[in-house]
Structures are given as C-alpha cells and as structure tokens.
C-alpha cells in the first residue's frame, strides 16, 4: 500500500504570504520506504480566516496532489478530517470533496479540538499526550493501528516529522 502524506507551511515574502506544499509518497508502516517527494510553492495565498482554515489550505493541497505522478492508495494529512470525529467537516473532509480521484483520508492532529471524544485518541511511545485520528472512507480502528505502528519511537511518527521539516524549507 502506498501513502501520500501532505503538509503546508506558510511564509512571508515581501508583502505577500506564500505557501510551501509538500507531499511524500511512502510504503510500509513500521519500516517506511520513501518512494518520492514533491514540493510546490504557491505564491500570494489567501489570508487566514478563523474557522475557515481549509479555504486557505485547499488550493495548496490540490496543487500539490496535481503534481503527483505515482499511484497512491491513502492520503494522510496533518489535521482533522472531522473536527468532532464523525460529522463536523474539517480539512480532510473538504479535501476529499475536492479530489478528482477520491482516496481515503486519514487525519492526524496533534491538538485536541473541542468536542472530540476519547475514541479518536492514539498514544505512541511513552508519551502522555495523544494524537487524534479521524478518517473519511477508511476504518477508524485500522487508521489508529496504522498511526500507532508508524516508524518512530516518539509521539510524532518519523514520516510526519520529515514532511513537516521539508515544508519548512522552501526551495
């Protein structure tokens, strides 16, 4: 199974805010093999709107996904698919709705959103702080198991650290 993990980092360039969208295609869970990396700079992105973050992030994610040439089975995002776990749309749900070729989406959020239940928590390593896992078109139990077992001994899986680091280094 091949996964596409995505992240976007925003940075100032003169008077404008630009974004560095990054994607990594990988296979494996406990031992990850990176198959390819993608990066695209989006200039002059929309300003942040409280409660509507997806409007800023969506064009960046879609632009990156449109660059991907390899086949992948599942998309992983840094954030929530559903803010409450099942009904209140988050970034992942909006992304799913905007995909031409629908793929299951797993959201991995580092911080709790008000109203999300204990059912969505995953603890990794010795951390006392959970990650929150939400999905669309993918079984939650399988997604939680996947995240629990992703390579890396600490709270944040290695592949998330890698995509985050790449996004923070626009070329």
Contact status, residue 107 vs residue 94, Cβ threshold 8 Å: no
Residue with tokens 């803010």: 83
Domain count for the chain, please give it. 1
Q: Please give the residue that has the higher pLDDT: either 134 or 169.
A: 134
Among the listed residues 139, 171, 132, the one whose alpha carbon sits nearest the alpha carbon of residue 155: 132
The boundaries of the domain holding residue 127 are: 2-168
Q: What is the DSSP string of 50-106?
A: TT-HHHHHHHHHHHHHTT--S--SEEEEES-SBTTSSSSB-HHHHHHHH-SS---EE
For the four alpha carbons of 132, 146, 4 and 28, in that order, the dihedral sign comes to positive
In tens, the pLDDT along 116-126 reads 999 999 999 99
Query: What is the token pair recorded at 28?
Result: 């494996």
Banded model confidence at residue 113, pLDDT cuts 50, 70, 90? very high
In tens, the pLDDT along 11-42 reads 999 899 999 999 999 999 999 999 999 999 99
CATH number of the domain that residue 155 is part of:
3.30.2170.10
């Amino acid at each position: 199974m091949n996964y596409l993990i995505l992240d976007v980092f925003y940075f100032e360039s003169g008077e404008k805010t630009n974004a560095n969208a990054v994607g990594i295609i990988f296979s494996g869970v406990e031992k990850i093999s990176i198959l390819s990396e993608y990066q695209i700079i989006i200039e002059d992105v929309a300003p942040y709107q409280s409660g509507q973050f997806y409007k800023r992030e969506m064009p960046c994610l879609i632009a990156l996904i449109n660059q991907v040439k390899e086949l992948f089975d599942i998309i992983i995002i840094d954030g929530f698919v559903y803010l409450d776990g099942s009904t209140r749309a988050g970034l992942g749900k909006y992304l799913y709705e905007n995909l031409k070729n629908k793929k299951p989406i797993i959201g991995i959020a580092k911080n709790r959103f008000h109203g999300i239940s204990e059912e969505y928590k995953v603890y990794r390593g010795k951390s006392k702080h959970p990650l929150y896992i939400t999905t669309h078109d993918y079984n939650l139990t399988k997604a939680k198991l996947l995240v629990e077992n992703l390579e890396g001994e600490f709270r944040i899986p290695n592949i998330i650290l890698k995509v985050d680091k790449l996004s923070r280094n626009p070329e």
